[in-house]
Amino acid sequence: MDLSVPGGQRRRAATIGFAVGLVLIAGLGVNGVIVARDATTAVTSVERSHSAIESLVEISARLGEARSVRRAYGLTGDVSYRDTFEEEVAMVPKRIASVRALTAEDPKQQHQIAELEPLVADRIARMSEQLATRDALGKDIPLDDAHSLANGQLDEAIRRHTNDLIAREHELLDQREADSSDRSGRATLFFAGSAAIAFVLLLSAFAINRYEIRERERAEAKTAGALAASIALNAELESFSYSVSHDLRTPLRAIDGFSQALLEDCGDKLDEQGKSHLDRVRAGTQRMGVLIDDILALSRVTRSKMELQRFDLSALAAEALAELRETNPEREVEVTIAPDLNVNGDPRLVRIVLDNLLGNAFKFTAKRTKAHIEVGATTEKGERALFVRDDGVGFDPRYAEKLFGAFQRLHDAKEFSGTGIGLATVQRIVHRHGGRIWAISEPDKGATFFFTLPGAEAREEV
């Protein structure tokens, strides 16, 4: 077997090999039972031949003994001879019956037994008659010539039949012995062969198994190496973003803090233009701080491990909304959240999606005295899509594609604050869930953001 084939083929080959091995072993088992039974049958028929011959010899012997004791009784009148006679003749029909049973398979012998039986019965009847006469007269009388001749002919016929039967049985016995020895030989050969095949199969299985284990170990080692490299890379990214978070923000804090200190301590020495310049320094610094935070959030969203579960998006949206209301107490916004929007996903990440989409909805409806926001679900191309809809300023649909790029802004930063990273983060989260995100809008007619969370088919995007 060529073992240097691809994994799929090798697995298929292993399955087929295993099936062939199983069929082979099952076949050997069934065949083994048949062979063993045949060999046993052959041995049994040899034993039956021996029994038949013994019974035939016994019939002759008992008839001979019956004749002798009949004569002795005739001469002496000793009752013990009579008893022995009865015992001997009683056994004869039983032996004939057993010979008949033992030779049931051979029609020729059955025919001979059928001829032998009345001869024997006749001979026994004649002897019984002689005994009855002896009992009636109190003495034995010699048989006349005719009777004597008839008895002699009967004895001769019985001996001939018995000898024929014995000769026939010997002939059969020779055949059966030869057959039995053949079968035993075949059985021995068969079992030896089976053992050899089983041995080869086991050896192959062992060799293939060892090869597979070695291959797997090699593959595992390779995977472990890749995993270690990936962990190391992740740790490096982790420490990089930690440094960015810590080290970039520290000087910004100094710029902002001391600008403020300058305003507080030396404000009276600065004219309005000087104060305005300082305000701009502070505004730029704070904007840079927010940018750093947003980039870190985006990077964290990409790196963090997904923990999928089924949860109620309606409840999560309500939480996000409550926080927005807290930070925007002056706004009058009517929000409708469809109940029981159960989804599969990482609730922590989906919360970031909702924070951003609802935050945008709040932001871009700021010019409405009374704004409306809706969170719900709909079916788009046979797929359930969740949406966040507002009646704010909307956007030009020509730029819909640009919405989700990092640092892309469709509105003037002076008009609506923001870093342009929020929707990029949202898109990355939706993609990590294996979902899609898109938006429809017209200027001044509000915007609707749709996203899907297939959840179960979530794939990792590195």
Partner 1 sequence: MSEKTILLVEDNDDDAELTLRALNKHKLATRIVRARDGIEALELLHGETSLRPDLMLIDLNMPRLDGIGLLRKVRAQPTTRSLPIVILTSSNEDRDVIDGYRLGANSYVRKPVDFLTFSDAVKALGLYWLELNLAPR
Which spans of this chain sit near partner 1 (rule: CB under 8 A)? 242, 245-246, 249-250, 252-254, 256-261, 282, 285-286, 288-289
Q: How far is the CB of 307 from partner 1 (least distance, A)?
A: 14
**Is 36 or 252 the residue whose CB approaches partner 1 more closely?**
252
Token pair 């938006």 is found at 439
In this structure, what are the phi and psi dihedrals at residue 373, rounded to the nearest 5 degrees? -130, 140
Q: Which is nearer to partner 1, 252 or 406 (CB)?
A: 252
Asked if 412 contacts 395 with a C-beta cutoff of 8 angstroms, the reply is no
Q: Quote the least distance from Cβ 322 to partner 1, whole Å.
A: 21
Cβ atoms of 56 and 173 closer than 8 Å: no
Of the pair 252, 270, the CB lying nearest partner 1 is at 252
Of the pair 11, 253, the CB lying nearest partner 1 is at 253
Q: Strand, helix or coil at 399?
A: helix
Q: Which residues contact 428 (CB under 8 A, 6 or more apart)?
A: 298, 301, 302, 461
Token couple for 304: 């963090």
CB 371, CB 404: distance < 8 Å: no
In the complex, what is the shortest distance from the CB of residue 250 to partner 1, in angstroms, rounded to a whole number? 6
CB 440 within 8 Å of CB 448 = yes
The residue among 352 and 361 lying less far from partner 1, judged by its C-beta, is 352
What DSSP character marks residue 340?
Answer: -
Which residue has 């300023």 as its token pair? 393
C-beta of residue 191 within 8 angstroms of C-beta of residue 32:
yes
Could you give the CA distance from residue 143 to residue 70 in angstroms, rounded to a whole number? 13
Rounded CA gap, 138 and 132, in Å? Answer: 10
Q: How far apart are CA 408 and CA 419, in angstroms?
A: 8
Instruction: Give the shortest CB-341-to-partner 1 separation in angstroms.
Output: 27
**Min dist. Cβ of residue 337 to partner 1 (A):** 28
In angstroms, what is the minimal distance from the CB of 296 to partner 1?
A: 8
Give the tokens for residue 401.
Answer: 């594609």
Is 457 in contact with 308 (CB distance < 8 Å)? Answer: no
Q: Which is nearer to partner 1, 267 or 405 (CB)?
A: 267
Task: Give the whole-angstrom CA distance, residue 35 versus residue 182.
Answer: 11
Decide whether 241 or 344 has the Cβ nearer to partner 1.
Answer: 241
The residues facing 344 across adjacent strands are 310
- Single-letter residue type at 445: K
By beta-carbon proximity to partner 1, the closer residue of 284 and 455 is: 284
Least distance CB 355 / partner 1 (angstroms): 16
Query: Least distance in Å: CB of 246 to partner 1?
Result: 5
Minimum CB distance to partner 1 smaller for 18 or for 258: 258
The distance of closest approach from Cβ of residue 316 to partner 1 in the complex, given in angstroms and rounded to an integer, is: 19
What 8-state DSSP symbol labels residue 408? -
Q: Can you tell me the distance from the alpha carbon of 356 to that of 377, in angstroms, rounded to the nearest whole number?
A: 18
